Amino acid sequence: MIQFQNVKKRFKNGTVALEDINLTIHDGEFVYIVGMSGAGKSTLIKLLLKEYDVSAGHITVDGLRLDQIPRWKIPAYRRNIGFVFQNFRLLSDRTAYENVAFACECMGLSSREVRRKSREALQFVGLRDRMRHRPDELSAGEQQRVSIARAVINNPRIVICDEPTGNLDHQTAAGIMQLMENIHQTGATVLMATHDRRLMDNHIHRVVSLADGHIVGDTRPTTRGLRHEVD
């Protein structure tokens, strides 16, 4: 479970990016985080990834308060979270396989285990035949699939996506979205910041809306596929 309790984020220049954020996300939920640019979506995600610290309130993940994690334990905390970004963040001089394997190597796994997990992850995202290609030899959609394979290679309980389809055409984005649905069906909790209304209409899940750093809407799908406001 993820809980934001009275969370505020103020930057050193005085800008308040988030204020009075109270949000509970249960295990296995799929939640869209939506809002205009500057609404606070990326800040919320960076707080959850411990790239930023809260200015007030606290965030709890599976009973662990993030403000109580010492700096040296942050990498271990992040290994339990898969993250996918709009700009892929791949190592340009490494193949798809090497990009994915690097995530395993950082955990100190054996060479055999690294090979097995990397191949399984790339097969899961449909890139079994593209493992030896570098990013500049892959399409944007294929690069994002590599990014997703890297994110899920350690079977994280939480997967966070920041505009994962933002640089993709609609057809390619639809394929990426289906991958996220497949990940969700494994039992993972998925948080996705997005502007893509069409994808949200085709894949109906809970929607948390931000504006000017505040939560202004929180709706869940009903059994008929329509959304209703969360109490």
- Which string of b and e fits 206-221 if b means at least 16 CB within 10 Å? bbbbbeebebeebbee
Residue 231 has pLDDT above 70, yes or no: no
146 or 167, which is more confident: 146
Which pair of tokens denotes residue 221? 């799908």
pLDDT at 107: 73
> What length does the chain have?
231
Task: Decide if 32 contacts 194 (C-beta within 8 A).
Answer: yes
Task: Decide if 142 contacts 172 (C-beta within 8 A).
Answer: no
- Domains defined for the chain, CATH in brackets: 1-80+156-222 (3.40.50.300), 90-155 (no CATH)
pLDDT in tens, 87-99: 888 889 999 999 9
pLDDT in tens, 120-135: 999 999 999 999 999 9
Residue 193 has pLDDT above 90, yes or no: yes
pLDDT at 96: 95
pLDDT at 156: 92
**What does the alpha-carbon distance between residue 49 and residue 83 come to, in Å, rounded to a whole number?**
9
pTM, rounded to two decimals: 0.89
